[in-house]
Amino acid sequence: MDKIVILDFGSQYTQLIARRVRECQVYCEIWPYHLKGYDLNSPEIKGIILSGSRYSIGDANAPSLPPQVLESGKPVLGICYGMQLLVSTQGGKVVHAQSQEHGKALLQVIENRGIFENLAGDIVCWMSQGGSVKELPPGFRSIARTENYEYAAIRDETGKIWGVQFHPEVSHTPLGREILSNFLFRICACRPEWTPESIIKEQIQWIRNEVKEEKVVCALSGGVDSVTAAVLTYRAIGEQLTCIFVDNGLLRKGEAEQVFSKMKEILGKERVIYKDAAEQFLSALQGVVDPEEKRKIIGRTFVEVFEEEAKKLGDVSYLLQGTTYPDVIESISIYGPSVRIKTHHNVGGLPEHMQLKVIEPLRFLFKDEVRKLAVELGIPEEIVWRQPFPGPGLAVRIIGEVTEDRLQILRDMDFIIDQELRKSPIYKKLWQSFGVLVPVRSVGVVGDERTYKYVGVLRAVMSEDGMTADWARISYDTMDAIARRVVNEVAGIGRMVYDITSKPPATIEWE
């Protein structure tokens, strides 16, 4: 399959570049810029994209361009810092910009060929850099300019090396997808082969080759990642797979029953084991208020329960995990590959503890790609669109000690929030929406009576991948309906507030 390699120089937009490339149905991978342990000479690699960076040319410790990039002879597109690297490496001159250009700008296309094929005239683009190309290397020419930049886009005389001083990957560059598409198909001659059908076919074969006749166990959470990984693996190896669903008592209202029922329908009742361990988890959490301690206790208890159930299966060799590409990317620094891959906290300690080999069929997929795969696999819509849910469950949405009473209050509040938001057109645009129970009480009045009840928080954010998030602009009518219902219907809640903090600086979850 054709592949594009994106070299990461530390840009906040690197993942976004990858998402845009994949939206064009072309497979791509993000590699650290230094290329240690990586080889660009594979015939599958059809082109290279150089990301932007928080550095400028000439800064101390600024990343450099590995010689393998130009030596490979493959088409290259440099974005912002990536373009400046191409210029400075080949004899051009880059200086600190006298007037830095950040935000929207009007791009005047000089040469409507190559990456600007069928894009003549003026194009709105998003600029964000502190460096400026003062002099082009020999054999290069300007193909687009802005008011402040004579060399807003460039190419070399061979038509293999291209550079842009703006971000085609962001939504603020409306024709950015067309620019990237021109690079992929006109310059690199890629074929649009990255489809859900091709992914399923390829991964089924990979799973069979990897597992052979061995047994696989899956720690099923009920989220779209673990369910998709389980269904895909079941398609590949059938009854060699067994899923264990541990009910830790920290799930949302009706969630345990729904997940177990659906998975029995999908995989067959023999392939899914249900373990009710709610009492064990709540007992272990008694008196604990520190969020990190909660996570450790839940993780440790999960390992104990899961291991006990897995031992009953006999000789198991593999642990199936729903690790996705953002988990992999987060674990690889641009300054060197990490020895540790970040995994779901519940299963992170299981491979070493149980001496299992790990199989991760989704490790090169983004969340939206997992959902497309899930649809193709016939997974029910209510699971496909299930929002991300933290491994420790409602325990990290209750600030302070976790008790059965507080869990019931939060479940009831969360259920109403979900019901009301599902009526709104914004629901499918939300990355996450949920309630948080704050262990402080607030004075209220009901009739002639004074009340003193807990404060509930509504949290709803929009995001593409969870790495950054913005608070959702929910309508006043929807917020009003949520607040009225929660205060009237949920015993213990006397006041509702809406969290309007983005990530960063806050995290999506409160703990």
Tens digit of each residue's pLDDT (9 = 90 or more) over 376-414: 999 998 889 888 888 899 999 999 999 999 999 999 999
Instruction: Compute the distance between CA of residue 461 and CA of residue 434 in angstroms, rounded to an integer.
Output: 9
The answer to whether 218 and 320 are in contact (CB under 8 A) is yes
Residue 99: per-residue pLDDT: 58
Is the pLDDT score of 341 beyond 50?
no
Q: With respect to residue 511, please indicate whether it lies within any of the assigned structural domains.
A: no
Residue 331: per-residue pLDDT: 59
Domain end position, chosen among 137, 161, 187: 187
* Percent of the chain whose pLDDT exceeds 90: 69
Q: With respect to residue 65, please indicate whether it lies within any of the assigned structural domains.
A: yes
State pLDDT tens for residues 404-420.
999 999 999 999 999 99
Whole-prediction pTM value? Answer: 0.81
Residue 410: per-residue pLDDT: 98
The answer to whether 115 and 183 are in contact (CB under 8 A) is yes
**Shortest CA distance to 398 belongs to which of 285, 505, 481?**
285
Residue 351: per-residue pLDDT: 54
* CATH number for the domain harbouring residue 358: 3.40.50.620
Asked whether residue 176 falls in the same domain as residue 157, the answer is: yes
Residue 340: per-residue pLDDT: 32
Q: With respect to residue 392, please indicate whether it lies within any of the assigned structural domains.
A: no
Mean pLDDT in residue range 60-75 = 94
Q: Which residue has the higher pLDDT, 455 or 10?
A: 455
What is the radius of gyration, based on Cα positions, of the chain?
26
Asked whether residue 247 falls in the same domain as residue 299, the answer is: yes
* Percent of the chain whose pLDDT exceeds 70: 93
Residue 344: per-residue pLDDT: 38
Instruction: Compute the distance between CA of residue 172 and CA of residue 318 in angstroms, rounded to an integer.
Output: 44
Asked whether residue 201 falls in the same domain as residue 180, the answer is: no
Asked whether residue 15 falls in the same domain as residue 92, the answer is: yes
* CATH number for the domain harbouring residue 156: 3.40.50.880
Tokens describing residue 391: 């491994």
HSE-CB of 132 using CA atoms within 13 angstroms: 14
Domain end position, chosen among 384, 418, 436: 384
List of E strands, 424-492: 432-446, 449-462, 470-471
Alpha helices in 313-427 (DSSP H): 325-330, 350-354, 367-376, 381-384, 404-422
Is the pLDDT score of 227 beyond 80?
yes
Instruction: Compute the distance between CA of residue 476 and CA of residue 498 in angstroms, rounded to an integer.
Output: 11
Is the pLDDT score of 81 beyond 60?
yes
Tokens describing residue 264: 């029995």
Q: 214 lies in which domain range? A: 196-384
pLDDT class of 354 with cuts at 50, 70, 90:
low
**Is residue 353 annotated as a catalytic residue, yes or no?**
no
State pLDDT tens for residues 116-129.
999 977 899 988 76
Asked whether residue 377 falls in the same domain as residue 454, the answer is: no
Q: With respect to residue 505, please indicate whether it lies within any of the assigned structural domains.
A: no
Asked whether residue 116 falls in the same domain as residue 178, the answer is: yes
Catalytic residue among 24, 125, 167, 243: 167
Asked whether residue 211 falls in the same domain as residue 331, the answer is: yes
pLDDT class of 100 with cuts at 50, 70, 90:
low
Q: With respect to residue 508, please indicate whether it lies within any of the assigned structural domains.
A: no
Q: Which region holds residue 108: left if phi is over 0, alpha if psi is between -120 and 50, else beta?
A: beta
Total count of domains within the chain: 3
Asked whether residue 149 falls in the same domain as residue 282, the answer is: no
pLDDT class of 52 with cuts at 50, 70, 90:
very high
**Is residue 80 annotated as a catalytic residue, yes or no?**
yes
Asked whether residue 226 falls in the same domain as residue 79, the answer is: no
* CATH number for the domain harbouring residue 433: 3.30.300.10
The angle that helices 476-489 and 404-422 make with each other, rounded to 10 degrees, is 150
Mean pLDDT in residue range 134-160 = 94
Residue 4: per-residue pLDDT: 98
Asked whether residue 13 falls in the same domain as residue 57, the answer is: yes
CA distances to 162, 248, 389, 402 from 298, in Å: 51, 8, 15, 12
Domain end position, chosen among 353, 384, 415: 384
Instruction: Compute the distance between CA of residue 299 and CA of residue 203 in angstroms, rounded to an integer.
Output: 29
Out of 34-48, 58-72, 96-110, 423-437, least confident range: 96-110
Catalytic residue among 101, 169, 255, 420: 169
pLDDT class of 101 with cuts at 50, 70, 90:
low
In whole angstroms, what separates CA 100 from the centre of its chain?
31
Q: Which residue has the higher pLDDT, 351 or 207?
A: 207
Q: Which residue has the higher pLDDT, 47 or 133?
A: 47
Q: With respect to residue 396, please indicate whether it lies within any of the assigned structural domains.
A: no
Tokens describing residue 82: 């990536």
**Shortest CA distance to 393 belongs to which of 270, 265, 277?**
277
pLDDT class of 338 with cuts at 50, 70, 90:
very low
Instruction: Compute the distance between CA of residue 491 and CA of residue 162 in angstroms, rounded to an integer.
Output: 63
Tokens describing residue 48: 């290279």
Residue 69: per-residue pLDDT: 97
Residues near 412 by Cβ (< 8 Å), separated by ≥ 6? 253, 489, 490, 491
How do 241-247 and 216-220 pair as beta strands?
Answer: parallel
Residue 282: per-residue pLDDT: 97
The answer to whether 242 and 313 are in contact (CB under 8 A) is yes
State pLDDT tens for residues 473-506.
999 999 999 999 999 999 999 999 999 999 988 9
Give the strand order in the sheet containing 318-320.
272-276, 241-247, 216-220, 318-320, 357-359
Measure the CA angle with vertex 403, ends 402 and 406; round to 5°: 90
Asked whether residue 324 falls in the same domain as residue 440, the answer is: no
Q: With respect to residue 391, please indicate whether it lies within any of the assigned structural domains.
A: no
Asked whether residue 19 falls in the same domain as residue 129, the answer is: yes
List of E strands, 206-287: 216-220, 241-247, 272-276
Q: With respect to residue 397, please indicate whether it lies within any of the assigned structural domains.
A: no
The count of other CB atoms within 10 Å of the CB of residue 233 is 25
